[in-house]
Amino acid sequence: MLSPSSALVVDLRNVTKTYGTVVAVESLSFGVRTGECVSLLGPSGCGKTSTLRLIAGFEDWDAGTIQISGVSMQGKRPYERNVGLVFQDYVLFPHMTVEDNVAYGLRRRGVAKAERSRRIAAMLDLVKLGAYGTRYPRQLSGGEQQRVAIARALVTEPEVLLLDEPLSNLDAKLRVEVRTEIKEILRRVGITTIIVTHDQEEAMSMADRIVVLNKGKLMQEGAPGQIYNQPANRFTADFIGRMNWIAGTVVERDRLDLGHQHAMSVKQLGAGVGQRVEVGIRPERLQLSAGPPGGGAANVLPVVVSGVEDLGSDVHYRVIAAGEIPLVVAEKNSGRPLLALGDTAHVAFEPEHCIVLPNDRDQTTTRERSPA
Amino acid sequence: MKRIIDNIWLCLFGFVVVATTLFLLAPLLMVLVMSFDGRSFVGRFPPPSLSLQWYAKFFSDDYFLDGLWTSITLGLSTAAAATVLGTGAALFLDRTRFRGRHFLIALFLSPLIVPHIVLGFGLLVLLRHAGLDNVFLSLLIGHVVVTIPYAIRIVLTSLQGLKANLVEAAMALGATEYRAIWDVVLPLSRTGVVAASVVALAVSMDEVTMSVFLIDPFTYTLSTALFATMRDSFNLVIAAASVLLMGITCMAVLLLDRLVGLDRIAGQGDR
């Protein structure tokens, strides 16, 4: 399963970083393969930005090893590494033109003038800013400034590109557009990339693989779909997307008693009879119907609608199932009349969509690597 | 009722602004006018006739000219030294975090609150004890001590207005820390550095209290010369000299503005 470390551009092994008594990164290990785009995803304070700063060389770590292309980065200053970095707020040099900003890294690396001009022109074309070379950063929009920052980081042909919260400074509408643009640029350059973000949508749409972090620890690692559909622990399940939790007592190998004469089937409970377990199910896996559902769904629970959120393309219902279980149901807006507050209805769902997690909640740390 | 009180407050603030402006400008204007007084004695304001006689007297008096020359060379040397040292200190204080940093900042700024008379006396004792008998050098040391707090304060403020990770951005692109400061931080804090040198020049030209401790009959500044003249014979050469001093400072500001383009770069690299 594990690829040999030579194929890894970035390789972190058991890296620990503390600030005073605060542990920012705890025994973190992960790798990024050539050309791969990996997202470090987690809430603020989870250690993702600290990790980025360790890779960029702005800080020293306390234990473990960090290698870039098989070379230890121990004690290597930022200018002794070949890492491209795009800051959250871009940090363009305001007193330099777009061209001079992009030229800076080439100048510091002693690239000759003719070669420099050629590479700057090619890079500005790539980010579609060919005509903006003589402008100053303050004359550009936020999205344009970001493309300059990406061009500035890419022009030196770094071994790995680090993006720190690339979309957080843009407004919601622009975000999706810029996301597609960045993805296209990265694809064309074919560069190995690490994207730090707290936004799961950003991570899922841009990354080939997601590394979920919480409190400095690796929670789960895997492809976006895998993380979403098979979360390894409660934290990942709750952080990536929304999750309904249904508590019950195991009565049979695959059957859960929910109390009040309600029960449901679950595939592979993995817990002994009599134990209390919680089962997760995604809001869009629940089907809501006014009358009793046809088609013989395996699990049906009666619900009362306690809230309706009409988002335009989707409708989110808050319902109380089986008298006491709060659930969120996400439905596509199909055009039929919405259910109203206080309506009674039914939810139906399949046993194979239920997610059963090991008992020891947040503490679990698993490593899953997709086959290389 | 609320509106009346509000209006009264506004009027009060307006009055304060007008009064302050008057008290700031009135003496300057009076000195300016009086320096062109055509009478041969100090009479009532305004002068009945105008002439350049006081300027002629000033420029024919070697006592004043020597002082002016010393003041100019001393002022420029002080401005240069205080700006270089102050910028260095400000960069160090801005880029490092260590125990006692705040104490060091307070120490660097202390000449602002210590009376110049104390500094002058202290320096006189210290420099004589150290065997330094070069008056110009003593004056230079004294003036740098007095002006460096201004330089540090001004440059530090302009550095704190810069994005903290500009240096990191340059380092990630292959620049050493020293190179990053030279390429990015200094150009962006240019306004502060220039302002520091102008303030240092102005303060040095103006300084009397400390300088009187350090001068001797052969090396003295224009302000100490004016001060000495004023005590035994009050005439309007002082007014003419004051206008010249003001003129020199204004010229320095205008010249630097032209050279560096203060407005053009103001506001760049802000957070």
pLDDT at B263 over 60: no
- The pLDDT, as a whole number, for residue A274 is 76
- The pLDDT, as a whole number, for residue B262 is 52
Q: Which residue in B165, B173, B184 is closest to A105 by CB distance?
A: B173
Residues A215-219: what's their mean pLDDT? 92
Query: pLDDT tens digits, residue range A80-128?
Result: 999 999 999 999 999 999 999 999 999 999 999 999 999 999 999 999 8
Q: Which residue in B171, B187, B268 is closest to A79 by CB distance?
A: B171
pLDDT at B125 over 70: yes
Please give the share of chain B, as a percent, with pLDDT higher than 90.
Answer: 46
Three-class secondary structure assignment of chain B? CHHHHHHHHHHHHHHHHHHHHHHHHHHHHHHHHHCCECCCCCCCCCCCCECCHHHHHHHHCHHHHHHHHHHHHHHHHHHHHHHHHHHHHHHHHHHCCCCCHHHHHHHHHHHHCCCHHHHHHHHHHHHHHCCCCCHHHHHHHHHHHHHHHHHHHHHHHHHHCECCCHHHHHHHCCCCHHHHHHHHHHHHCHHHHHHHHHHHHHHHHHCCCCHHHHCCCCCCCHHHHHHHHHHHCCCCHHHHHHHHHHHHHHHHHHHHHHHHCHHHHCCCCEC
Strand partners, A301: A347
Residues B53-62: what's their mean pLDDT? 91
Q: What ipTM does this complex have?
A: 0.81
Mean pLDDT of chain B: 87
Q: Which residue in A79, A83, A152 is closest to B176 by CB distance?
A: A79
- The pLDDT, as a whole number, for residue A85 is 94
- The pLDDT, as a whole number, for residue A209 is 94
Structure tokens at B68: 């002016």
Query: pLDDT tens digits, residue range B140-179?
Result: 999 999 999 999 999 998 998 888 889 999 999 999 999 9
CA distance B183 to chain A (A): 9
Contact call for residues B170 and B184 (beta carbons, < 8 A): yes
Confidence band (pLDDT; 50, 70, 90) for A358?
low
Residues B174-192: what's their mean pLDDT? 91
Q: Which residue in A87, A91, A108 is closest to B174 by CB distance?
A: A108
Interchain contact, B187 vs A87, CB within 8 Å: no
Interchain contact, B166 vs A93, CB within 8 Å: yes
Residues B76-95: what's their mean pLDDT? 94
Interchain contact, B166 vs A91, CB within 8 Å: yes
B181 shares contact with chain A (CB less than 8 Å): no
Instruction: Please identify which residue in the block is written with the tokens 């707090």.
Output: B149
Query: pLDDT tens digits, residue range A29-67?
Result: 999 999 999 999 999 888 899 999 999 999 999 999 999
**CA B129 to centroid of chain Cα atoms:** 29
In the stretch 86-115 of chain A, residues with CB closer than 8 A to chain B read 87, 89, 91-95, 104-105, 108-109
Confidence band (pLDDT; 50, 70, 90) for A284?
very high
Query: pLDDT tens digits, residue range A192-203?
Result: 999 999 988 889
Interchain contact, B268 vs A89, CB within 8 Å: no
Any idea which of A142-146, A262-266, A315-319, B125-129 has the lowest mean pLDDT?
A: A262-266
Residues A194-223: what's their mean pLDDT? 92
Any idea which of A111-120, A177-186, A292-301, A325-334 has the lowest mean pLDDT?
A: A292-301
- The pLDDT, as a whole number, for residue B104 is 86
Residues A183-195: what's their mean pLDDT? 92
Rounded to an integer, what distance in angstroms lies between the CA atom of residue A94 and that of residue A91? Answer: 8
Confidence band (pLDDT; 50, 70, 90) for A246?
confident
Interchain contact, A91 vs B184, CB within 8 Å: no
Interchain contact, B175 vs A108, CB within 8 Å: yes
B171 shares contact with chain A (CB less than 8 Å): yes
Interchain contact, A93 vs B265, CB within 8 Å: no
Q: With beta carbons under 8 A apart, name residues in chain A contacting B187.
A: 95
- The pLDDT, as a whole number, for residue A359 is 54
Residues B200-207: what's their mean pLDDT? 90
B168 shares contact with chain A (CB less than 8 Å): yes
Interchain contact, A105 vs B166, CB within 8 Å: no
- pTM, to two decimals: 0.80
Q: With beta carbons under 8 A apart, name residues in chain A contacting B165.
A: 87, 91
B183 shares contact with chain A (CB less than 8 Å): yes
pLDDT at B23 over 80: yes
Q: Which residue in B171, B175, B269 is closest to A94 by CB distance?
A: B269
User: Which of B167, B173, B182 is the best mutation test for A, with the most CBs of A within 10 A?
Assistant: B173
Rounded to an integer, what distance in angstroms lies between the CA atom of residue A234 and that of residue A225? Answer: 16
Residues B62-69: what's their mean pLDDT? 92
CA distance A217 to chain B (A): 26
Confidence band (pLDDT; 50, 70, 90) for A143?
confident
Q: With beta carbons under 8 A apart, name residues in chain A contacting B269.
A: 94-95
Interchain contact, A93 vs B184, CB within 8 Å: yes
Mean pLDDT of chain A: 86
Q: Which residue in A89, A95, A104 is closest to B173 by CB distance?
A: A104
Size of interface A-B (CB pairs under 8 A): 64
Residues B50-56: what's their mean pLDDT? 90
Structure tokens at B38: 């055509």
pLDDT at A370 over 90: no
- The pLDDT, as a whole number, for residue B270 is 41
- The pLDDT, as a whole number, for residue B261 is 60
Q: With beta carbons under 8 A apart, name residues in chain A contacting B179.
A: 108
A241 shares contact with chain B (CB less than 8 Å): no
Interchain contact, A91 vs B268, CB within 8 Å: no
pLDDT at A236 over 80: yes
